[in-house]
Amino acid sequence: MCRLLGVVSAAPISVADAVGAHVLKDFVALTKVHGDGWGIAHVDEPGGDPRVEVSAGSALDDPAFSAAVEEQRLTAGMVHLRWATNGLAVQPQNSHPFVVGGVAMAHNGSIKPTGPLDELVERGIAASLRGTTDSERYFGVIRQHRRTAPDLAEAVRRAVAQLRALYPGASLNALVLGEGQLIAVHAHAHSQLPAEDIEEITAADLPTEHLEDYFALRWARAGDGALVVGSTGFGDLDWQPLPPESVTAISMADLSMNSVPVMAD
């Protein structure tokens, strides 16, 4: 499980300036349990390809992380704090975001058992995977649908719909960055944290939202008019809920938002 933070801005801005120093501090504080790696993907100008930096270490007191969120100016980007699923290695290859062909993706959830997911991933895509996570395989399914979908948002929707049919209770929450858009998948089907994760959150004294609505995604308008998408449990922005079981595309060109249900008619 993980925490997600996405930003889209009309003019280049750092993540820290977009959300505010106090919100970023709240976000980084989540490394109390989400300390198994971090990653950031950023696009410097609308239409550009995302560049990705990842680490298997904690974001807390990491100069590389601080530079990425405080100094790097972007028009769109996303930040991921990882809480490794039990049994998955803490190594750079498993840190999100993943990036292939001008598209980056980060996931918050666990897709188990992995057998049906593995069967969905075509042999050529499977051979290109760098790590061992279910999340990277999820990204592989998106990549497959992009070949025939008219745009990236529809490829994401088709992938999520296909996975939802196989995994009715899984959290498929994700951020996808590329092709001039930041795409937020809010599809967690009322997923619940395992008892051992609840105990760890409680012991770490994290905000109660982590227990009440851990998997929710929401959006807000922040500094300089930037649009922000984030997980629960940090920040005091004027958060608004994203529609449940939906895919929302935010344009880098004009910050317009378009939400569609995962199970389109």
- CA 252 – CA 75 distance, rounded (Å): 7
In this predicted structure, what is the pLDDT of residue 204? 57
The strands making up 246-251's β-sheet, listed across from edge to edge, are 98-100, 103-108, 173-178, 181-186, 246-251, 257-261
User: Per residue of the chain (265 residues), what is the pLDDT tens digit?
Assistant: 689 999 999 999 999 999 999 999 989 988 887 788 999 999 998 889 999 999 998 999 899 999 999 999 999 999 999 877 665 667 888 999 999 999 999 999 889 999 999 999 999 999 999 999 999 999 999 999 999 999 999 999 999 999 999 999 999 999 999 999 999 999 998 776 666 665 655 655 666 666 667 888 999 998 778 999 999 888 889 999 999 999 999 999 999 999 999 997 6
Q: What is the pLDDT of residue 197?
A: 60
DSSP reduced 3-state for 240: strand
d(CA 121, CA 186): 22
Contact 219, 183 (CB under 8 A): no
Which pLDDT score, from 0 to 100, does residue 215 have? 83
Q: What residues have CB less than 8 Å from 219, skipping those under 6 apart?
A: 184, 227, 228, 229, 230, 239, 240, 242, 248, 257
Which domains are seen in the chain, by residue range?
2-261 (3.60.20.10)
Q: Indicate the pTM of the whole model.
A: 0.94
Q: Find how far residue 117's CA is from the centre of its chain.
A: 19
